[in-house]
Structures are given as structure tokens and as C-alpha cells.
Chains A and B, each alone.
Chain A
Amino acid sequence: MEQLSQISNIAFWTALCLYAVAMVFDFYYLGFRREGAWKIANVLSWAGLAVQAVSVVTRGIAAGHLPWGNMYEYSSIVALIMVAVEKLVVELRYKVRTVAGFVLLAAVATMLIAGTALYRDPGPLVPALDSAWLMIHVILVITASALLMLGAGVLSPLFLVKVRQERRGAAAIGATRVPRGESEGATADDPPGFEPGADEPVGSASMAATATATVAAAATAPPGAGSPLLAKRGILPPSETLDRLAYRTIAVGFVVWTFAVIAGAIWAQRAWGRYWGWDPKEVWAFITWVVFAGYLHARATAGWKGTRAALLASVGFVVVLFTYYVVNIFIVGLHSYAGVS
């Protein structure tokens, strides 16, 4: 057991290092679009995922229960899910490679906090926590947190950054709608190949037009117009893509969060005889849920879609972080009680 727990720890730190190195290559790819850099990053991050999966599994065996019993264990899985979703969904399904570095940054930060401040040796569960519904509740909360952090903490802020760049670029160059340029790469990161206006209420034509205009103009812009990197390629994916990715991620996160809250209520009913009691964690779970419901509505509301909705997502991200770290660690409610009486 002792040995397994050590293996788990070594694997954890190995994965962290792999992610960190992969992140460097991903950022290099972001800046200079060298296919080789992305390939290295790709191999490293998949290796990191595999090693981290080993860490989680061995940890579970060492502790003798499902490996989500404390903050260290939660955080490890949160990071794992963020990277896995980025790889499987963002890169493979949506063919967007350029956000990988940011996601890895978030994962590495999460793991650093987990591996230092939050680390605990594996141990038994306190009795109140030993219940199937609770285990379901917790893994759902972890999954949803990962998705919401990814969507609202990484993708949505990148969208905001990109929108600003596009506005500035458009202003600097003069926004005229130019026919789309030829596609260079196979990925959706390269704006010329991107089909705007593709999805969901936010598909605001003006934004798409700006994106197209910026990119097309960037290709012909004199050196020094706008940010040099932006002028060269527009280093981030088009705002449209970022917005759609953020929305999709958050929407799934919202569904999972909803399910998590329901599972939690079912557990609370079984354990304490009340499905809801406004204890601090319940309150913050509720706030998180309401804020993201607000985000989903905002994306469908005239005057709120786009930037304002994204700002709401950022608020949601802060709420998720607060719920995850501050409420979990500092605000003690029933959820952390270790026994009765």
C-alpha cells in the first residue's frame, strides 16, 4: 500500500512535468506554428494523461476507496479531465490546437496547488461520506468543475481577448468584408479555413464578419499594424470558434452540474433527512448553477450575447474557484463533518 501510494505520487509529479513541458511546446506552436512543436506537445500530453491515469488508479487502490475522497484527489481528476477534454474534444473533434497551452497551464496550476498545499496521504473515508450517492455526487461535481473551469476559465476569457484583438485590428485596418482567403492548414485555428456564422444564437453576423475581415486584412496588412503576431496569423482561433467551444463546454458542464446537485440532494435526503438545507456548499452550488444558467440565457438574449455573456462566464469561473477552494477549505458546513453528536 505504502509502495502504491508512492507510485501514485511519482506518477502525479511526472504527469505534471510532462504537461509543463508540453505546455511550452504548445505555446511555441501558438506563436510560430511549427508543426513539429505541436507533435512533440501532443505526444507529451498524451503521455502525461496516461501517467496521471496511473496515478489516480494506484491512489484509489492504496486508499481502498474510489480516488475522490479529498481535495488533492479531486484536483488531480479535475486536471486530468481538463486535459483529456482539450485533447479529445477541442483538438480531435473541433480541430483547434492553439488553446492547448492555456489548458495545460490551468491543469499545471491546479496540480501544483494540489500536490503541495492540498496533499494528504491516502486514508479511509469518514463514515458520513461512505455512500454510493455521495460518490456519484462528488465525481459529477469534479467533472462539472473541470468543464466549467475549462469553458469559463480558459476558453471564454480567450474569447474576450480575441474579440478585443479583432476589434482593435478591425479599427486599425478598416473593417471591410473581404473574401475568405485560402486555407493553409488542416486545423480550424487558421482563420481563413473557418466557416463563420456556424452556430447558436451568438453567431452574431457582425462578429463573424469582423473575424473574417481581421484575418483577411491581416494577411495584407503592412508590418507593424496591430500586434505583430496577430498581423502575421491571428495567433488565437477566431472569436467565433472560441465562443462556440466555450459555450459547448459550459453547456455540458451545466448539465453535469445540474445532475451533481440532484445527486447531492438525494444523498442529503438519505443521510440527513433533508434534501436541501442552505449549508455553505449547497448555497455555493446553487450560486454557481444560477450564474451559469444566467450565462446560457445571456447567450440567447439580445444585447447580452457575445462579450457580456462571456463576462458572466468569467464571473461564473470566479464562483467555481471560490466554491472549489474557499468554501471547501475554509467555510465549514455539514459537508465536512466527520462524525455525529
Chain B
Amino acid sequence: MRTALILLLLLAVGAVAGSLIPQVGISDDKISQMFVDHPLRATVYEATGLFDVYGSWWFTLIYALLLTSLAACLFPRTRALLRTLRTRPQPARELDSMRLYVERSVAVPPGTVLDRSANILRRKRFRVDRVGGAVPQVAADKGIAREAGSLLFHWAFFLIVIGIFYGKGTGFTGYAVIPEGTTWTEAHANYDGTAREGRFFNENHTGAQVRVEEFTVVYEPDGTPQEFTTTAELLHGDGTSAGTADIELNAPGSVDGVDFYQYGYGWAPVIEVTDADGEILFSGPVIFEQDRAPKGISQAAMPWTGAVKLPSLRPQVGVAFRLLPDPETALVSEMTDEPIPVLKPSHPVLALRVFEGDLRLDVAQRVTELDPVGLQERRSGIVPLGEDVRIGGGVTVSFPELREYTVLQVGRDAGVGIMLLAAILILGGLLPALYSSRRRVWVRADPAPHGSVLKVGGFALQRRSEFEEEFARLVEAMARATDHASAIESETERT
């Protein structure tokens, strides 16, 4: 117990460290900042796993030790419990030295006293044994649920560990960016960034598909988004439909064991680029993104930008776009450089800047941005929705349609069911472990001139004051059942 206690406290201390020090995957910016500001401290933290406490070797060690000590404690306790379950309640040698002991004179002979007392105890759900031999007595006990509950509760922690490792090991998570009107297939290459895949995952992507029909946002009067809904048809890996779903916050969609959660959204203007001969160089929805807002500026006010890269032209051409809600704000924004939120654009306009030179596509870069190193800006312009603009060299850019895209978090965790079961066992075990109590009662009866002397002894290991009341009630019931010969009938009626 002491080991467990100390390990539990160590676990808490480790968790505190994890909450005070920025963690990988949660506050990566702060970590990089620390490497700049305090390189030595950051290096030490890095080396000791303090940036990834919950995955560090020492945190793992603490809970591994905790589980080991738990197992070492649970095996003998479980064996003892099973043994108790198999054996009958033990008779007692002396009753009058018990914590609780009562004698009453009653009217019926000893054998009847024991029979009736045993019945009462049975009715109160005690395990009862009528012991013969030299000193006939009734031995009874109750409250095995306490130990059983405690064992269930503690064993469930192993289930939690299994659930976590099974779920994470065979599962994956990632993000899918899907413009309205397009279909996304669940496959390794199609994730935005990299998908996190479990160690035993083995590339078991499902090929399930999401055909996004529509994405809608409902805004509050002040412009904060209130509701987001992706209306999509889900398709099984074999291409058959699994029906349509409205994927919203708190309401994921699911197909082939893969869950889709509403995560984000953005604008995806459809852009078409043709060359002098009318040949299509590019056509389709382009994902626009916002930079993260600096402190003090609302994220909604950050500009939406995107890019189209045309590597087949000589020299290569890149067009950088910015989405603006209407021509007037486009003008204002060009002149003042003020941020303009794009919520419900009435007459959307794309401001564009055309670059020529080398796109450097052999260097890793984001799809939504141009790499400025090899490029020179040639011209700029605007193109309103439904119109087109020439950008030189006979190339035309048109903006036929403004769509939105949705970002879904995609994942599979087959361990969730195990976790739920463990949670149920934990709660179901905790209640009897805390609120039931182990208690024993013995009854004897000595012959007396007009009947017998009823002797009841008992004790409880926990919740003693409650047991005192229960004991008093039991004795009362026994005395009532045995105070005259015919009591047995009336007694049965009473209970």
C-alpha cells in the first residue's frame, strides 16, 4: 500500500510538471520559443523528456511500477476472495468478546431459535451457515461486494492500459481538407500534413469516401461563428453508399469504423486558368488559408490567401490570391492594408499578384503559398466573381464560383469500447468498494427454563456505526421471531 501511495503521488507530481512545461503537440510554439530564449534549459528539458512528459520514459516507468505493484497486490487478494467465496461462513468460538454482543431471553427452544435467526439473516442477504457439532450456531457474513468491488476497480486499470495501447496501436488520426463538391478518399496520401498511424496499423486504410455536398456556417450577429455543418455522403471502401450525414461539433459521422469530426473550415474559390489557345492550365477549387492572428487581432479579420502554381509555362508563373468580400473593401484594403473579415461575401473579389521566375517545386513548400525566392512580381489585379482577367502572355484567370471547404478530423480508435467498459467497471467497482462493508454475525441459543437464551455477536470491519444500527435491527427481528412459539407465522407476515 505504501509503495502504491508513493507511486500515485509521483504520478501526480509528473503530471504537474507536464502542465507547467509546454508539451509537444500542444504548445509547440512555446517550445521553439524556449529554444531561442533559454537554449540551455530547453536542451535539458528536451533530454529529460520534460517536453513530452506523458510519453517520457520516466512517466512510463512510474505507471509501469504502479501497475506492477498493483498486480502483485491484486493476485493474492483475488485468490483470497475466491477462497472466501468457496468456503462457508466460519463459526466463532466465543461470542461475548465480540465488539457487539447481546443476550435475550426468548420463548422457543434453541433449535427453533437458530432456524428462525438463520431465516432472518438469509432474508437480509447474509450468507448463512447452520453449524452443528459441539456448539450449534448460525454463522453469517455479508459484504463480499466490498472486496469484489475494490478488486474490480483496481483490475480495470489494466483494461485501461490495454484499451489505450490497442486503440492507439491499431488506429490512426489525421486531417482531411475537402472543398464542397469534391470527394475525399481515406488513404495515406490524402491527409493534410501527415496522418499519425499506430505501430500495428500496417497501412490498413479503409478507402472509405466522403463526398462533401455542402458546408454551412451560421454566424452570430457579431460575426462569431455559431454552428458549422458539413453535409456529406459517406461511402464504404467498396464504393457503396452509407447514407448522408450532417457532421457537426459534437456530432461526428462514421463509416467503416472511421470517425469524421468537424474540425475547421475555410474558403475555396474555384479558379480556372487558360492559356492563349484556350487550353486549361488549371481548374478547380483552391484551398485558401488564414495566417494565425497575432495577439489582439481577431482571427476572423485575418486575410484569406491562396496560390496557383503554373509550372508548365516558361518562365514559370505563380499567382498569389487574396479573397475579399466585395469590390469596395477590395479597394480600401489595397489602399490601407487594413484587415477585412470575410464572413458572408456579397460580391466576392479575388485580388491577385502574378509572379514569374522559378517556382522551386523541388523544394518542400506549402501548396497555399508561393516560394518568393526565385520569383519576381510582374503585375497585380482583381477578378470579381464570375469574371476573368488577363495576366499577360495570353493567360486568363477566371473566378467562376466561390465555395467553402471543410476540415474534418479523421480517425479510428478501436480501443474506445474497451475504455468504456473499463470506465463502467471502475464506477461499478468503486461504489461497493466504498459503500459496502464486510460484517459478520453469529447466533447461538442456550437452553433456559422457559425457552432459551438468544446470543448474538458480530462485528464489521468498516462502517461500524452503520453496522451498530443494522445489528440492533437484526437482534430485534430475531427476538421478535422467537419470543413466543407461534411467532414464526406472524414474523413471516411482518417481513
B434 touches A287 (CB 8 A): no
Number of residue pairs spanning A and B whose beta carbons lie under 8 angstroms apart: 129
Residue of B whose beta carbon sits closest to that of A131: B250
B8 touches A294 (CB 8 A): yes
Once A255-B431, A338-B224, A341-B407 are accepted as A-B contacts, the answer to whether A294 and B12 lie under 8 Å apart by CB is yes
| Min distance, Cβ A329 to any Cβ of chain B, angstroms | 15
A262 touches B423 (CB 8 A): yes
A280 touches B19 (CB 8 A): yes
Residue of A whose beta carbon sits closest to that of B19: A283
A273 touches B411 (CB 8 A): yes
- Counting chain B residues whose Cβ lies within 8 A of the other chain, the interface size class is 35 or more
Q: A35 at the A/B interface (Cβ < 8 Å)?
A: no
A255 touches B224 (CB 8 A): no
Measured in the bound complex, the distance between the Cα atoms of B212 and A15 in whole Å is 53
| Min distance, Cβ B67 to any Cβ of chain A, angstroms | 14
Residue of A whose beta carbon sits closest to that of B422: A262
A269 touches B416 (CB 8 A): yes
Render B204-240 as a binary contact track against A, CB cut-off 8 A, 1 for contact: 0000000000000000100011111000000000000
Q: B427 at the A/B interface (Cβ < 8 Å)?
A: yes
| Min distance, Cβ B281 to any Cβ of chain A, angstroms | 30
B9 touches A340 (CB 8 A): no
Binds A, one of B39-47, B358-366, B381-389, B457-465: B457-465
B18 touches A297 (CB 8 A): no
Binds B, one of A47-55, A114-122, A196-204: A196-204
Q: A179 at the A/B interface (Cβ < 8 Å)?
A: no
Pick from B173, B227, B263, B419: contact of A265, CB below 8 A. B419
Q: A274 at the A/B interface (Cβ < 8 Å)?
A: yes
Q: B26 at the A/B interface (Cβ < 8 Å)?
A: yes
**Chain A contacts for B228, CB-based, 8 A:** 127, 340
Pick from A124, A271, A304: contact of B5, CB below 8 A. A304
**Chain A contacts for B423, CB-based, 8 A:** 262, 265
**Chain A contacts for B261, CB-based, 8 A:** 271-273
**Chain A contacts for B430, CB-based, 8 A:** 254-255, 258
A273 touches B409 (CB 8 A): yes
Render A38-52 as a binary contact track against B, CB cut-off 8 A, 1 for contact: 000000000000000
Q: B264 at the A/B interface (Cβ < 8 Å)?
A: yes
Measured in the bound complex, the distance between the Cα atoms of B18 and A298 in whole Å is 25
Q: A130 at the A/B interface (Cβ < 8 Å)?
A: yes
Residue of B whose beta carbon sits closest to that of A323: B19
B225 touches A339 (CB 8 A): yes
Q: A154 at the A/B interface (Cβ < 8 Å)?
A: no
Residue of A whose beta carbon sits closest to that of B227: A127
Q: A182 at the A/B interface (Cβ < 8 Å)?
A: no
A198 touches B2 (CB 8 A): no
A283 touches B249 (CB 8 A): no
| Min distance, Cβ A94 to any Cβ of chain B, angstroms | 9
Residue of B whose beta carbon sits closest to that of A277: B26
Q: A321 at the A/B interface (Cβ < 8 Å)?
A: no
Pick from B5, B18, B264, B427: contact of A258, CB below 8 A. B427
Measured in the bound complex, the distance between the Cα atoms of B19 and A302 in whole Å is 32
Q: A286 at the A/B interface (Cβ < 8 Å)?
A: yes
A271 touches B1 (CB 8 A): no
A278 touches B262 (CB 8 A): no
Q: B255 at the A/B interface (Cβ < 8 Å)?
A: no
Residue of A whose beta carbon sits closest to that of B53: A278
A200 touches B434 (CB 8 A): no
Q: A17 at the A/B interface (Cβ < 8 Å)?
A: no
Q: A61 at the A/B interface (Cβ < 8 Å)?
A: no
Which residues 272-305 in A have Cβ within 8 Å of B in the complex? Answer: 272-275, 277-280, 283-284, 286-287, 290-291, 293-294, 297-298, 300-304
**Chain A contacts for B290, CB-based, 8 A:** 341
Render A124-150 as a binary contact track against B, CB cut-off 8 A, 1 for contact: 100110110010000000000000000
Once A127-B226, A127-B249, A251-B434 are accepted as A-B contacts, the answer to whether A340 and B15 lie under 8 Å apart by CB is no
B1 touches A200 (CB 8 A): no
**Chain A contacts for B407, CB-based, 8 A:** 340-341
Q: B341 at the A/B interface (Cβ < 8 Å)?
A: no
**Chain A contacts for B220, CB-based, 8 A:** 124
B249 touches A128 (CB 8 A): yes
A287 touches B259 (CB 8 A): no
Pick from B12, B266, B419, B464: contact of A203, CB below 8 A. B464
B8 touches A290 (CB 8 A): yes
| Min distance, Cβ A138 to any Cβ of chain B, angstroms | 14
B250 touches A298 (CB 8 A): no
Residue of A whose beta carbon sits closest to that of B12: A290
B462 touches A287 (CB 8 A): no
Residue of A whose beta carbon sits closest to that of B462: A200
Measured in the bound complex, the distance between the Cα atoms of B411 and A214 in whole Å is 64
Once A265-B423, A270-B250 are accepted as A-B contacts, the answer to whether A199 and B12 lie under 8 Å apart by CB is no
Q: B16 at the A/B interface (Cβ < 8 Å)?
A: yes
Residue of A whose beta carbon sits closest to that of B248: A127
Once A258-B426, A271-B261, A340-B263 are accepted as A-B contacts, the answer to whether A297 and B252 lie under 8 Å apart by CB is no
| Min distance, Cβ A172 to any Cβ of chain B, angstroms | 30
**Chain B contacts for A130, CB-based, 8 A:** 249-250
| Min distance, Cβ B289 to any Cβ of chain A, angstroms | 10
| Min distance, Cβ A137 to any Cβ of chain B, angstroms | 12
Which interface residue of B9, B19, B173, B266 has the most chain A CB atoms within 10 A? B19
B19 touches A272 (CB 8 A): no
Which residues 85-134 in A have Cβ within 8 Å of B in the complex? Answer: 124, 127-128, 130-131, 134
Pick from A275, A277, A297, A302: contact of B8, CB below 8 A. A297
Measured in the bound complex, the distance between the Cα atoms of B2 and A302 in whole Å is 8
Measured in the bound complex, the distance between the Cα atoms of B463 and A203 in whole Å is 10
Q: B11 at the A/B interface (Cβ < 8 Å)?
A: yes
**Chain B contacts for A304, CB-based, 8 A:** 2, 5
Q: B442 at the A/B interface (Cβ < 8 Å)?
A: no
Measured in the bound complex, the distance between the Cα atoms of B413 and A217 in whole Å is 65
Measured in the bound complex, the distance between the Cα atoms of B12 and A339 in whole Å is 31
Measured in the bound complex, the distance between the Cα atoms of B420 and A304 in whole Å is 33
Q: Can you identify 7 A-B contacts, CB atoms within 8 angstroms?
A: A258-B426, A272-B261, A273-B409, A274-B411, A298-B5, A301-B2, A341-B299
The 5 closest A-B pairs by CB, nearest first: A341-B264, A131-B250, A283-B19, A273-B261, A290-B12
What is the interface of chain B, defined by CB distance below 8 A to chain A? 1-2, 4-5, 8-9, 11-12, 15-16, 18-19, 23, 26, 54, 173, 220, 224-228, 249-252, 259, 261-266, 290, 299, 407, 409, 411, 413, 416, 419-420, 423, 426-427, 430-431, 434, 462-465, 468
What is the interface of chain A, defined by CB distance below 8 A to chain B? 124, 127-128, 130-131, 134, 195, 197-201, 203, 251, 254-255, 258-259, 262, 265-267, 269-275, 277-280, 283-284, 286-287, 290-291, 293-294, 297-298, 300-304, 327, 331, 338-341
- Given contacts A274-B413, A278-B26, 16 further A-B pairs with CB under 8 A are A199-B463, A200-B463, A203-B464, A273-B261, A273-B411, A275-B416, A278-B54, A280-B19, A283-B19, A284-B19, A290-B8, A290-B11, A294-B5, A297-B4, A304-B5, A341-B264
